[in-house]
Amino acid sequence: MRRRPAVAAAAAACAVAALAALGRASAPAVSRVPTTSRMVALTFDDGPAAPYTAQILSLLARYHDAATFFVVGREVKQFPELLRQEVRDGMEVGLHGMTHLNLHTVGASNIVRDAQRERQYLSTVVPAASLSRLYRTPYGMKNPRLERELAAAHLTLVLWDVDTRDWARPGVAYIVRQVEHLTKPGSIVLFHDGGGNRSQTVAALAILLPWLKRQGYQAVTVQTLVQAASG
Ligand SMILES: [Zn+2]
């Protein structure tokens, strides 16, 4: 453990950089927050969707965990009450665009305009909530122009370091194994609560939330993870 001080110093430096990323114009994407604290950010894309979002919220409540939901505006139009429940339950809501556009097809400017339109729309559904400025591109795509334009719009690109591949429905055991093998302090884990049948995701979470607790991990929002790591 001779290397620990150097590792800790590097982690602290990265945490400061990540915090700056949340508040500054020339921000790089955040995929993980290096920290020695046993905290992780669970993130859910493509919802809200019935019945999965409510099932996930109920599991998170049971284990007193928080998470970040990168919602799609089109889905919020269908299930506005689920977005309100996310906010009521203390979850963080991030942007994933009105219609799940593909960066390579539509280009960076359209992606950013779509994100801004979504943020405006969400503020009409949950007017009292303070909406985060976190944005996740559909398919996790990015390029330098998108990063520049998101930064100019004061939006922070949040990706992930743990991909459960749950969108492909690879089986509950696979999803569980991905998280158990890949999660480290400061990890950002990608799940999906929308975009298809997510019963495997829900079943995996019922196993993973108590597993994370047993490992000493606390599941928090992306914003909390970044802030805690910087302190
Ligand atoms: Zn997506």
Which CATH number goes with the domain that contains 48?
3.20.20.370
The per-residue pLDDT for range 41-82, each reduced to its tens digit, is 999 999 999 999 999 999 999 999 999 999 999 999 999 999
Q: Among 118-132, 159-173, 196-210, which is the least confidently predicted range?
A: 118-132
Kindly state whether residue 106 falls inside one of the protein's structural domains: no
CA angle centred on 46, ends 43 and 50, rounded to 5°? 100
Residue 45 appears among annotated catalytic residues: yes
As a whole number, the mean pLDDT across the chain is 90
Residue 89 appears among annotated catalytic residues: no
110-142: string of b/e by CB count within 10 Å (b at 16+)?
Answer: ebbbbbbebbeebeebbeebebbbbbbbbebeb
The per-residue pLDDT for range 111-165, each reduced to its tens digit, is 999 999 999 999 999 987 778 899 999 999 999 999 999 999 999 999 999 999 9
Burial of 227: CB neighbours in 10 Å, binned 0-12, 13-18, 19+: middle
- Please state the pTM of the whole predicted model: 0.89
Q: Looking at the chain, how many residues does it have?
A: 231
* Ligand 1 centroid – CA 231 distance (Å): 31
Domains held by the chain: number: 1
9 vs 67: which has the higher pLDDT: 67
* Ligand 1 centroid – CA 167 distance (Å): 9
Residue-range definition of the domain harbouring residue 191 = 4-93+157-230
* Ligand 1 centroid – CA 138 distance (Å): 4
Kindly state whether residue 111 falls inside one of the protein's structural domains: no
Q: For residue 40, what is the enclosing H or E element?
A: strand 39-45
The per-residue pLDDT for range 34-52, each reduced to its tens digit, is 899 999 999 999 999 999 9
Pairing of strands 39-45, 68-71: parallel
- What percent of the chain is modeled with pLDDT above 70? 88
Kindly state whether residue 220 falls inside one of the protein's structural domains: yes
CA distances from 93 to 9, 73, 152, 186 (A): 31, 11, 21, 19
